[in-house]
Amino acid sequence: MYKLKMILLMLSALLLTACGSGNSGDTFSDAEKQFVHNLFLTEYLWYDQVPSTVNYNTYLTRQGMINDLRVSPPDKWSFTFTKQDYDNFTNQTTSGFGFQYTSDFTIVLVRINAPAYQKLFRGDKIIAINGESVTQENLTSAIQNTNQISTFTVLRHGVQMNQNVTSSAYSFNVSLGKVINHNGTKIGYLRYDSFTESSVAEFENIFSTFKAANVSELIIDMRYNGGGSVATASALLDNITNAYPDQRQIYLDWNNNNQYNNSAYTFESADLQDGNELSMTRVFFLVTKDSASASELTISALVPYLGANNVITIGTNTHGKPVGFTGRSYNDNYYFLVNFFVRNDDGVTTSFSGIPATCTSVDDTTHLLGDENETMLSTALSYIDNGVCP
């Protein structure tokens, strides 16, 4: 039944919010339950804390079985979803409007090129949908009404306005970059929302722009980036610095019975570099509790090479997910059970409490991402000016 092997580092709750769990409606057979149980007893990082005997009749859903067998704390991430959900994630396709929002219906993120992109904006507070006061129920209903126009009444900078948006299937980007000219310094700013496999071409184009502009500072905004592919994180590291060819970025450390699965990722060889990589000696990361997994890997991997004082985090503690999954499949259901710790070249793994912020700063939803007046970005710019946290 092992048809799939994918190495991922992502915050599963964010992924499932985006894609849906999708596999609870079909039959969950005893044979599949045995398969899942065996994964827990063999490949799972904390295999020695899993009961060897369980009553399969008590499990009606796949995620329910995972929730019961996973060792929590610390594991709050092991999960399952369908092949279709996985394909949607890796290919950056989904359906709906394409925005994330808070409990009071304030929009905090709009996916790049989603139906709501350039119509609804970060900081908009949704007041009504189709003339009715917004509720979770009518917002969910509008999302599910594919190809139907919905009228959003929003409050934007104190002004009430209507915007029509059609819920639909769409493809989106996860990268957006620009060069900031700040007090005579050229700074590359990269908004990066997810480590999808298909995003490498996106950010490589952006790094080519940074290279051509001869930027001397780099700010990567990963405040909502819940992670993704380890290989994509490795490619991002290659673009950040070309100064360490063939040296180890990170390695994956499995349980005692699966040490033969341990593997390492290295900076690309000099003969594979295309000349558009940067050679940064200092990098700033904008982070929150939603910055997880591959985001934390990227930050941690740079510390042995650039030094802790030159890997600067702005915001709050990150999520604290120093572990990852190698996906396994059973028919059309994919299982991601925690398999390994992620360690940098010094053998250090991120704390379950997250990476602490170098400079504490709030996530300022009153400004767009990339706006130099946005609090987290302006904190990074102040540090570049003065060499200390403001």
pLDDT surpassing 60 at residue 157 = yes
Q: Are 356 and 317 in contact (CB under 8 A)?
A: yes
3-state secondary structure of 255: coil
Pairwise pLDDT comparison (93 vs 187), residue with the higher score = 187
Q: Using alpha carbons, select from 252, 190, 248, 246 the residue that is nearest to residue 215.
A: 190
| Confidence band, pLDDT 50/70/90 cuts, at residue 309 | very high
What CATH number is given for 175-322+341-386 in this structure? 3.90.226.10
pLDDT for position 18: 37
Q: Do domains 94-171 and 175-322+341-386 have the same CATH topology?
A: no
pLDDT for position 87: 84
Distance of CA 347 to the CA centre of its chain: 23
Q: Are 89 and 68 in contact (CB under 8 A)?
A: no
**What mean pLDDT is predicted for residues 181-190?**
98
pLDDT for position 6: 55
Give the residue extent of every domain in the chain. 6-90, 94-171, 175-322+341-386
Pick among 2.40.50.140, 2.30.42.10, 3.40.190.10, 1.10.3470.10: CATH of 94-171: 2.30.42.10
Q: Are 133 and 127 in contact (CB under 8 A)?
A: yes
**What mean pLDDT is predicted for residues 132-145?**
96
| Angle between the N-to-C axes of helices 30-42 and 62-69, in degrees from 0 to 180, rounded to the nearest 10 | 30
Tell me: the pLDDT tens digits for 211-259? 999 999 999 999 999 999 999 999 999 999 999 999 999 999 999 999 9
pLDDT surpassing 60 at residue 13 = no
pTM of the model: 0.93
**What mean pLDDT is predicted for residues 199-217?**
97
pLDDT for position 10: 62
Tell me: the pLDDT tens digits for 241-253? 999 999 999 999 9
**What mean pLDDT is predicted for residues 319-335?**
94
| Confidence band, pLDDT 50/70/90 cuts, at residue 91 | confident
* Rounded Cα gap, residues 30 and 35, in angstroms: 9
Amino acid making up residue 94: T
Contacting residues for 56 by C-beta, under 8 A, at least 6 apart: 30, 33, 34, 37
pLDDT surpassing 80 at residue 199 = yes
Cis upstream peptide for 74 (omega within 30°): yes
- Percent of the residues in the chain that have a pLDDT greater than 70, as a whole number: 94
**What mean pLDDT is predicted for residues 327-347?**
95
Strand partners, 168: 96
pLDDT for position 267: 98
pLDDT surpassing 50 at residue 339 = yes
Pairwise pLDDT comparison (83 vs 369), residue with the higher score = 369
pLDDT for position 168: 96
Chain position carrying tokens 């904390």: 46
pLDDT for position 8: 57
**What mean pLDDT is predicted for residues 32-39?**
97
* Rounded Cα gap, residues 9 and 327, in angstroms: 11
* Rounded Cα gap, residues 73 and 82, in angstroms: 25
Give the CA radius of gyration of the chain. 22
Residue 272 token pair: 């594979």
Q: Using alpha carbons, select from 75, 140, 133, 122 the residue that is nearest to residue 340.
A: 75
